[in-house]
Structure 1
């Protein structure tokens, strides 16, 4: 049991440390916010190309979030981190957020991917911003380098949130159970 807790603690520490490495571009608060908004716009453009129906879904939603994440799988543990933004479509307000994840399961490799979350209601969006935990299992394969390769990403609906994943780069094969934490950025809000 001690070994399990040590590995879990180490993986959580690495996920948080890795989040610090997955910072966005820019030196000032405004530059970092602009870099995140550009990542959001680029990701949505890519999602609309891959799944054209998502444009109407986002336009009718209460709000949505877009995250950039890097993930590493090391045999029995995975960890990752990233950053993103939640947009309240009713008010136009952006909430800048960080994310970290830790998982246990079989996997090997690394990948850079984007997550788009569409919120069904204002309550679901507010709960996500203020509480931010999402737990889930994941089984996927990704092999992609630049414009070559393929990515098997998913679309899932969990507790009023539709989640899309787009793999940018990487090579990974994994079957893990992960805990992901999303939290407000104290630096950018």
Structure 2
């Protein structure tokens, strides 16, 4: 019986996360446009909050912007999302997806945006071609619209700076999780 409850809770969480992270639109062109619109809005928000990020992106070989949703129920954390990576040297836009799973203490649901700024071409190429990240994450968020506050901290190595902007959610979590980013075959 206990195993069945865990299975049902897991399925509910997966359905909740997948519903929050689906690219809007029916056709591939509509979906691509929705991702590009999300990117524009997130960058505008980032530049308003962290004006120096504009110069960092201008000096970088590329960047990526993702829309993510994360759910943490006691000891398990799952999430998913979509985004786009810009390779400025090749003048190429790569549409991507992401998924994450982890273990740790926490409770909550969080909808957030992430901006990755790559300091060198190797880190950008590795992100687009291999896409793995693994690390510890600690954050707290209590936000709805313009009300509330959020703090987040993530550390990545290999020449990448990350900004995280919380859209909405209520979460307090400390997790060890793996995240996979990969090319979206439908949109590329």
* TM-score normalised to structure 1 length: 0.89
Distance in 1 (CA, whole Å) between partners of 2:183 and 2:39 is 16
Distance in 2 (CA, whole Å) between partners of 1:17 and 1:186 is 23
C-alpha deviations, 1:104-147, integer Å up to 9, x for none? 00000000000100111111111111111000101110000111
For residue 66 of structure 1, what is the aligned residue in structure 2? 65
Unaligned runs of 5+ in 2: none
Distance in 1 (CA, whole Å) between partners of 2:169 and 2:64 is 22
* TM-score normalised to structure 2 length: 0.89
Unaligned runs of 5+ in 1: none
- Equivalence map 1:1-189=2 (5 Å): 18-19=17-18, 22-154=21-153, 156-189=155-188
Distance in 2 (CA, whole Å) between partners of 1:147 and 1:18 is 22
What is the root-mean-square deviation in Å for CA atoms of aligned residues? 2.1
Distance 1:135 1:155, change over 3 A: closer
Distance in 1 (CA, whole Å) between partners of 2:173 and 2:74 is 9
Whether contact under 8 Å (2:132, 2:181) holds in the other structure is: yes
Distance 1:82 1:145, change over 3 A: same
C-alpha deviations, 1:66-110, integer Å up to 9, x for none? 000000000001000000000011232100000000010000000
